[in-house]
Structure 1
Amino acid sequence: MAKSSSKHSEEVNAPLAHGATVLPLVTIDDYNNELRDKNGFVGDNANKKTFQQKLDDWRKHVRKFGDDPIGKVATAKLSKKKIEALLKGDDMEAAALIMGAMEDFAQDFAEVIRKFLKDERWSKTERIVVGGGFRQSRFGELTIARTMVILKAAGIAIDVVPIVHHPDEAGLIGSVHLMPPWMFKGYEAMLAVDIGGTNVRAGVVEFGREKKPHFADASVWESAIWRHADDEPSRSATVEKLVAMLQELIDKAEKANLKPAPIIGIACPGIIKADGSIERGGQNLPGGNWESDSFNLPAALMKAIPEIGDHSTYVMMHNDAVVQGLSQIPFMNDVFRWAVLTVGTGLGNAHFTNREGMKAR
């Protein structure tokens, strides 16, 4: 048999690695793209803070001529539930303020997407799914839809849609696609972790009782969340807390006779190197210095939890936007090239091309 010399073939046949660009069902064309323009990072024009600034600007305009219908509470203190209530409420002026911010944000978001699409790795993108906390609200969903309309009006034929799952769960569910399915045979679930700048989530992801293709019915069976931003822990304290969260979840799964695979998937900000260390992008993680050459989270977890059930623990880590995007694989068999943008504290991003295992159009 002829020996392949292509780099692509080498990657496909290479051993499993953290931050891999070739996964069982997709190739990762790009992630954590730090796209810049003359004003700085392009992603800074589409995040949680940007939306708050848009709303704050509208409130300042209104205050020049009378009372602010939203009241005296600072914009940064407005919860998603409060903004939702204002949008749906009887005070038309307050609702109009929210709508104004939504329109301004959608215009900026559309421009951000235009700039990403100019990157050759994002060319011919057919669909962009939007995740992150912004998506989990009615005003977020409407803003996403408005963004798509703006792009289509400009002649850019692309779908821009909310991520199917709750973004908190998508960041856990996506881990099932980091490994080939044969690694899960004989098991009903796996452990997953999603580490962010504000929260750490850990959960048990059940593969789905109906065994649908590509884990289409995978779901979060049980999860725990820790808002580490309130505690300002050290890096080592963060790892200790995470280990405790995982161990509690393992115990719960075993007591419920749910057999978890000896596998932990991790979603984490930044560029993830093949050995599981973080090259860059981990500056907002609790305790700092996650990019140190002497720190490796997968290794730390395997040392703290050496076994799950009767087998040695295996840990696989990738970028958080990548993992959130991977959760959408079952719903992407009608397109070939697609992407994810996660709107939260920052703008996470990743671009995918379906591989042969997917039923591309």
Structure 2
Amino acid sequence: MADRPGKTGKSTAPDMRGEHGAMRLPGLDIDHYNLLVRDPEDEEGFLGDRASQGAFRDLLQAARQRHRTGKDPFGDVPTADLKKKAIDRVLRGSDPDAAHLVHLAVEDHARRLAHVIQVFLAQPEWEGVERIVLGGGFPEHDAGGLAVRRAMRLLELAKVEARLQLLGHHADEGGLLGWTALLPQSEHRHRAFLAVDVGGTNIRCGIVEHRLEQAPDGHKARVLERLKWRHADHGPDRAEAVARLAAMLNGLAAQARTLDLPLAPFVGIACPGRIEADGGISQGAQNLPGNWERPFHLAEALAAHLDPIAGTLPRVVLHNDAVVQGLSERRKMRKARRWAVLTIGTGLGNASYTTR
């Protein structure tokens, strides 16, 4: 039996591609993911929450309250409702008061992120990590990117040996492209497959052309078409979310048929939480619409709504979203024996790997 997250032993299975929560791939072990470190200042919280995208909003709100000397430069708009573009705009704008508030939040968040990374590196699950990929939606924006680069500098000044680098492609695609490394060998004969990245704010679906015949490590894979639904704006329940996800996938499959694109009867779903061998989510899905944890079984619920692909009902496989996003950068990590990923979004996702 394959080792599950949190175990230190190695699996004897040579290749687990195509299995829920696979922990061993050709040439690579997924050692651990969904690492939870208790926050010493909050008995019910986790340390990683200090460096999430939501934490940045909290820091910006605190800065607005502490440094308010007159008219709030953001007006009456609650911090939680500020658009990312609006926050980024003040960094390039002419309002020094608004820019000052954002810079205060950026610096505070950078210090938190640097601290979280140092704590993670001190955990047994991250022992020996040489390289860390920073992904998720937060670094994609000006304020988030500034906070991440500042955290990198703080870690350099602290002489932390692990090297950090930003995700090499758009975060909307990392959680899709990473499924190329998890595609079972039996499906390589098909030119493309469907992949999903479910987050606490958005659901992304895409057609991934794996191009494994050109690059067996998957680095030439590309997203041909993708759809994005910001479910956080609609507040759907679980049934509505699954139905909408199925409709998006069926639409992409129909598009593939129109393009005469050979599609594998396979759907890879990246989502937060701990994914068990039977496809159940046992922990960490609290940010998803409705209760997605056991006894609910997403793969079975979704498969019931999917159209056949080339006459075959597609197989639905789940894995953790941070794991999948990290796998999209596997080629760049090939010289590191141990490496990791942190995804900064609604929460703080994480995973660690060993290259064999």
**Could you tell me the TM-score, scaled by structure 1's length?**
0.89
Work out which of the residue numbers 54, 65, 75 in structure 2 matches 1:49.
54
Aligned-residue offset at 1:277: 1.0
Work out which of the residue numbers 221, 225, 236 in structure 2 matches 1:222.
225
| SS at structure 1 position matched to 2:224 | strand
What letter corresponds to residue 134 of structure 1 in structure 2? Answer: F
The answer as to 2:192 corresponding to 1:189 is yes
| SS at structure 2 position matched to 1:254 | helix
The residue aligned with 1:231 is 234
Higher mean displacement: 113-122 or 301-310 = 301-310
The answer as to 2:158 corresponding to 1:154 is yes
What letter corresponds to residue 38 of structure 1 in structure 2? Answer: P
What letter corresponds to residue 37 of structure 2 in structure 1? Answer: L
CA gap of 1:122–1:9, structure 2 versus 1, over 3 A, is closer
Aligned-residue offset at 1:254: 1.2
Aligned-residue offset at 1:310: 4.0
Aligned-residue offset at 1:257: 1.5
Counterpart mapping for 1:282-361 below 5 A: 282-288=285-291, 290-293=292-295, 295-305=296-306, 307-355=308-356
| SS at structure 2 position matched to 1:215 | coil
CA gap of 1:217–1:94, structure 2 versus 1, over 3 A, is same
Aligned-residue offset at 1:109: 0.6
The answer as to 2:32 corresponding to 1:30 is yes
CA gap of 1:266–1:14, structure 2 versus 1, over 3 A, is closer
Q: Is the 8 A contact 1:126 1:338 kept in 2?
A: yes
Counterpart mapping for 1:41-120 below 5 A: 41-63=46-68, 65-120=69-124
Show structure 1 runs of 4+ deviating over 4 A: 13-16
The answer as to 2:10 corresponding to 1:8 is yes
Long gaps (5+) in structure 1: 1-6, 356-361
Deviations, residues 113-162 of structure 1 (Å, cap 9, x unaligned): 11111111201211211111111112222211111111121121222222
Q: Is the 8 A contact 1:200 1:226 kept in 2?
A: yes
Deviations, residues 73-101 of structure 1 (Å, cap 9, x unaligned): 22222211111111111223322222221
CA gap of 1:52–1:306, structure 2 versus 1, over 3 A, is closer
**Could you tell me the TM-score, scaled by structure 2's length?**
0.90
What letter corresponds to residue 39 of structure 2 in structure 1? Answer: D
What letter corresponds to residue 52 of structure 1 in structure 2? Answer: R
CA gap of 1:95–1:118, structure 2 versus 1, over 3 A, is same
Q: Name the CA distance, whole Å, in 1 between partners of 2:218 and 2:18.
A: 20
| SS at structure 1 position matched to 2:61 | helix
Q: Is the 8 A contact 2:274 2:284 kept in 1?
A: yes
The answer as to 2:242 corresponding to 1:244 is no
Deviations, residues 39-61 of structure 1 (Å, cap 9, x unaligned): 23101111112111222222223
Work out which of the residue numbers 272, 275, 282 in structure 2 matches 1:272.
275
What letter corresponds to residue 10 of structure 1 in structure 2? Answer: T
Long gaps (5+) in structure 2: 1-8
What letter corresponds to residue 82 of structure 1 in structure 2? Answer: A
CA gap of 1:11–1:202, structure 2 versus 1, over 3 A, is same
Q: Name the CA distance, whole Å, in 2 between partners of 1:185 and 1:255.
A: 21
The residue aligned with 1:178 is 182
Q: Is the 8 A contact 1:25 1:177 kept in 2?
A: no
Aligned-residue offset at 1:329: 1.1
Q: Name the CA distance, whole Å, in 2 between partners of 1:13 and 1:78.
A: 45
Aligned-residue offset at 1:103: 0.9
Q: Name the CA distance, whole Å, in 2 between partners of 1:13 and 1:66.
A: 62
Q: Name the CA distance, whole Å, in 2 between partners of 1:109 and 1:85.
A: 23
Higher mean displacement: 66-75 or 112-121 = 66-75
The residue aligned with 1:132 is 136
Deviations, residues 245-269 of structure 1 (Å, cap 9, x unaligned): 1111001011112211111101111
Q: Name the CA distance, whole Å, in 2 between partners of 1:242 and 1:49.
A: 25
